[in-house]
Amino acid sequence: MGISGASGAPLAVETLRALRAVGVESHLVVSRSGELTLAQETGMTVKELESLAHTVYYNGDVGAAIASGTFRTMGMLVVPCSMKTAAGICSGYSDSLLLRSADVTLKEGRPLVLCARETPLSPIHLRNLYDLSRLGARVVPPMLTYYTNPRTAEDMTRHTVGKLLDQFGIVWAERTNWTGMAQSEEGGGRT
Ligand SMILES: Cc1cc2nc3c(=O)[nH]c(=O)nc-3n(C[C@H](O)[C@H](O)[C@H](O)COP(=O)(O)O)c2cc1C
């Protein structure tokens, strides 16, 4: 899992907690800007964040295990994914461990899930995200979602994290589970 410097550090924290809760081993690399947004948006220290991961790597360590395709993984999640990181992955410009790991994930044909976040999106951002989806990445932005009747930002966060984990077939108990409109003739509801 990579954390880059887009807004959305709480998504990264919740994702690490979820992976730990379901027993998935997480290997974490955080960009320098990711550390800045973590401080701004959560008040957590990098050490506190890192304590949630199974293994932590320095972003400058392009010789780390996750820099090689021979290190087997289920794939990679970049949450949040900045437009700079999206551009780096899209162009194959792998000058950091985070970018190299994403590059390797694509070349090995493993799932690469990008929780890409920016607004508004420029034509450059849209072109890169479109190209990335054509290249095999899954672009899963943290979209505001109202049909689940969220009460808090944490509810929205959990909803997005559930969508991210879905991409790997990971079952997480706190994921929103839509079973139809509460008032529908079929009698569905929310759980
Ligand atoms: C508080 C804060 C919020 C930011 N939010 C975003 C964002 O939502 N999307 C984005 O693409 N960049 C955002 N940026 C800018 C990136 O951090 C910046 O482009 C950085 O160079 C990205 O580097 P990285 O991709 O290596 O982490 C933000 C920066 C800060 C300080």
The one-digit pLDDT tens for each residue of the chain (191 residues) are 999 999 999 999 999 999 999 999 999 999 999 999 999 999 999 999 999 999 999 999 999 999 999 999 999 999 999 999 999 999 999 999 999 999 999 999 999 999 999 999 999 999 999 999 999 999 999 999 999 999 999 999 999 999 999 999 999 989 888 889 876 655 555 54
Ligand 1 atom having least distance to the Cα of 85 = 25
Domains of the chain: 2-166 (3.40.50.1950)
Enter the pTM of the model: 0.95
Q: How far is the CA of 68 from the centre of ligand 1 (A)?
A: 26
Rounded Cα distance, 146 and 156, in Å: 9
Atom of ligand 1 nearest to the CA of 37: 1
Which atom number of ligand 1 is nearest to the Cα of residue 4?
Answer: 27
Helices (H), the chain: 9-22, 32-42, 46-50, 83-91, 97-107, 123-134, 153-166
Give the Cα separation of 66 and 54 in Å (integer): 13
Question: Separation of 81 CA from ligand 1 center, angstroms?
Answer: 9
pLDDT in tens, 55-64: 999 999 999 9
Protein residues whose CB sits closer than 6 Å to any atom of ligand 1: 4-7, 31, 33-34, 36-37, 40, 82-85, 117-118
- Tell me the three state secondary structure of residue 21: helix
